[in-house]
Amino acid sequence: MFKLRNFCFTAVFVLFSVLAFSIASAQEVTLQKSDESKLDPFEQQNLARADKLFADKQYRAAMADYDLFLLEFPKSAALPYALLRKSRSIELDNKRYQAIKSYQEVLDYFPNHVAYAAPALFYIGDCHWSNGNTKNALIAWSKM
């Protein structure tokens, strides 16, 4: 039983290592076209400003702008996207424990928005992995 369990963990580890590498080398999550079409010009402008800061790797400023967007537009179609990008900004600012909590909010409030919930789940595992917590990383990734 113990050998089978170790084999399963090893297999899952290898699978998610490959997945992690492929996702990490891929582009960041972008706003879905269907969500973007529902935004008014003011929402688009505010989100574009935050996205520009994110693209310029100014993660603290981007996090603040995404947070402001969440407060100013609580009914926006881009809410799950903004929360995911805020979480990603926190992670890329090396505040991984805080990022895990923020990613969990994406899962708690928007579990059916797969385009944003799935990356949140992956990034939770990524944060655990970067923190050296292999077990929790594998648990998070196994939920995908």
Averaged pLDDT, 128-139: 92
Q: What is the pLDDT of residues 36-91, one digit of tens each?
A: 999 999 999 999 999 999 999 999 999 999 999 999 999 999 999 999 999 999 99
As a CATH number, domain 8-23+33-142 is 1.25.40.10
pTM over 0.85: no
3 CB neighbour count, 10 Å cutoff: 7
If 0-12 CB within 10 Å is exposed, 13-18 middle and 19+ buried, where does residue 92 land? middle
List C-alpha distances in Å: 98 to 18, 40, 121: 26, 31, 14
Angle formed by the axes of helices 114-130 and 96-109, nearest 10°: 160
Q: What is the pLDDT of residues 79-116, one digit of tens each?
A: 999 999 999 999 999 999 999 999 999 999 999 999 99
